Amino acid sequence: MEIALLGGTGDIGQGLALRCARDTDHSVVIGSRDADKAEQKANEYYSSLKETGVTPGIAGYSNETAADSAEVVVVSVPPEYASQTVETVAPVLGEDDVLVSPAVQMSRDASGFHYDPPETGSVAEAIDRAAPDDVPVVSAFQNLAAGALSGLENDLKADVVVTGDDSEAKQTVMALAEDIDGLRALDGGPLANTGVVESVTPLLINLAMNNDGMHDIGVRFE
């Protein structure tokens, strides 16, 4: 299976790219609006992974080219660009592909971070609206700290809540999450339940800001 990380030059895309390339049997492609930047980042990730003793399959392309070859397409762009990015790659997506939404829209004020979803209810539902009707959308990975993910020396121990309306697509993404060392996938129900998953992310940041020793935390349900 091939996994495309659109916006894979950003921090959460980088973390997911490194972990997928190191821990799973899938190949990874980095997408960016700027194909040269994607290629450069892919080379950097390749070098980082080589240092850990892994020889990964990892390459960089434009978002469209990355999405075209992949079965799992992770929209790891800033939330305000999510719908637009999906519209750009829509022509190369089909019913056998899965769009994955890991982004969270937040606001910040003097108190801390707040959940500030788009009108559709969540970034995942905004992506679902922008996607072709036959392409399933699954949300996952929102509650992982980018810093914890991208530092490959960190042993993860975190839950990944996965939501979606297409059960086969959801199973694909849950299996992918479980393939990454230290992650446990949990079923959060249909895509309409994504809001309460996304809103854990500002909570994690608030906890990191207000408690010693809680930098780059994740969440566990038990």
Binding-site ranges for a second copy (CB under 8 A): 109, 111-115, 157, 161, 186-190, 192-193, 195-197, 199-200, 202-204, 206-207, 209-211, 214, 217-222
> What DSSP designation does 143 have?
T
Rg for the chain (alpha carbons), in Å?
16
Judged by CB, which is closer to a second copy: 27, or 206? 206
Residue 178 CB, nearest distance to a second copy (Å)? 13
Residue 71 CB, nearest distance to a second copy (Å)? 24
DSSP assignment of 117-141 equals --TTSSHHHHHHHHS-TTS-EEE--
> What DSSP designation does 77 have?
S
Judge whether 159 and 219 are in contact, CB under 8 Å. yes
Judged by CB, which is closer to a second copy: 49, or 124? 124
Judged by CB, which is closer to a second copy: 84, or 167? 167
Length of the chain: 222
Amino acid at 4: A
Judged by CB, which is closer to a second copy: 78, or 190? 190
Residue 94 CB, nearest distance to a second copy (Å)? 26
Residue 114 CB, nearest distance to a second copy (Å)? 7
123-143 in b/e form (b: 16+ CB < 10 A) is bbbbbbebbeeebbbbbbbbb
Residue 36 CB, nearest distance to a second copy (Å)? 38
Judged by CB, which is closer to a second copy: 50, or 220? 220
